[in-house]
Amino acid sequence: MQLEYDKNGLNEELTLLLESEHSLQKFIDKLQYIKNLYSELCYLFQVSDNEYPLKIVKMESGSLFAKVFGEAKVIKTLSIWIENTVSYFHRNYTNEGQIKSITHKLEVIENLLETTKKLEEAGIDTTKNKEALQKSSLIIARELNLLLGGEPCITINDHKHSITAELQQKYLEESKTHFLIASQEESEDND
């Protein structure tokens, strides 16, 4: 379906449902993480987010349901990275019984997101500015952690990811502690 504001056919939709209940501030924060991810990907793909802004198609609260619209290759990559990150969180939790966020080690981030590969497939030269690519990868990993961490049930473009019902409450409790500690450590690193 081509939307009326996609006159050139170069845009795509992303739907995201985070089934946990969120406070107003947490809801706003989650939307900001989506925007930050989109902006960082636009930067990497050399796409103007002024020319291809992220637009809200539909929004619902309680749990967070967001349907957004943006530049096609950016949205496709964002969708893949969200799926990969959710799978990583849930796989690591269920296999090891503990929460693991995406580490800040560049080689782990590169293996999970395949940033260089995705950019090269899009025709972007990644050899010129490795430092900027590494910085962007760290930003993207942080924003994905903040957006998706502690979410036991997530639906991305009608594809549901969840851990078993009996693990969900434990996952939620552990994620609050884990991500609080991780954010404190990050604050200390930035001081």
The rounded distance, in Å, linking the Cα atoms of 19 and 36 is 21
pTM of the model: 0.77
Single out the residue of 155, 178, 146 nearest to residue 83, CA to CA.
155
Q: What is the mean pLDDT of the chain?
A: 79
Task: Note whether 154 and 162 are within 8 A (CB).
Answer: yes
Residue 127: which pLDDT band, with cuts at 50, 70 and 90?
confident
pLDDT band at 175 (very low <50, low <70, confident <90, very high): low
